[in-house]
Amino acid sequence: NAGVTQTPKFRILKIGQSMTLQCTQDMNHNYMYWYRQDPGMGLKLIYYSVGAGITDKGEVPNGYNVSRSTTEDFPLRLELAAPSQTSVYFCASRTGTGDRGYTFGSGTRLTVV
């Protein structure tokens, strides 16, 4: 059982470039999330989805876009990368029933120069 898989693990972007961070889960979880982790700041929610075709903004959505065409995939798109988007990005998922917590991916470390 692979859990939540994120690619790539590391990436360096130039200012103004675009990229997509991939996230896939094989647990048939309805809920999926994107967080960014900045040093000493904990995790901030960027976007989340409660099921295929449904997405909503979190605390810090500016500069990002998401889509959820399937249950398994929840890609995060950065358009016009800025240095402020340098961070570690985590994708997470959870089942919609019970309270078993989230399953996190191993993260993508992004640097914008």
| Cβ proximity to another protein, 27 vs 45, nearer residue | 45
| Cβ proximity to another protein, 14 vs 100, nearer residue | 100
Q: Shortest approach of another protein to residue 69 CB, angstroms?
A: 19
| Cβ proximity to another protein, 49 vs 85, nearer residue | 49
Cβ–Cβ under 8 Å, residues 85 and 112:
yes
Angstrom distances, CA of residue 91 to CA of 12, 17, 28, 49, 57: 19, 21, 15, 11, 14
Contact pick of 1, 14, 28, 100 for another protein (by CB under 8 A) = 100
The residues, any chain, with a CB within 8 Å of residue 63's CB and separated by 6 or more, are 78, 79, 80, 82, 84, 85
- By the rule CB under 8 A, 50 interacts with another protein: yes
Return d(Cα 113, Cα 96) in angstroms, integer.
39
Contact residues toward another protein (CB under 8 A) are 4, 31, 33, 35, 40-43, 45, 48, 50, 58, 90, 92, 99-102, 104-107
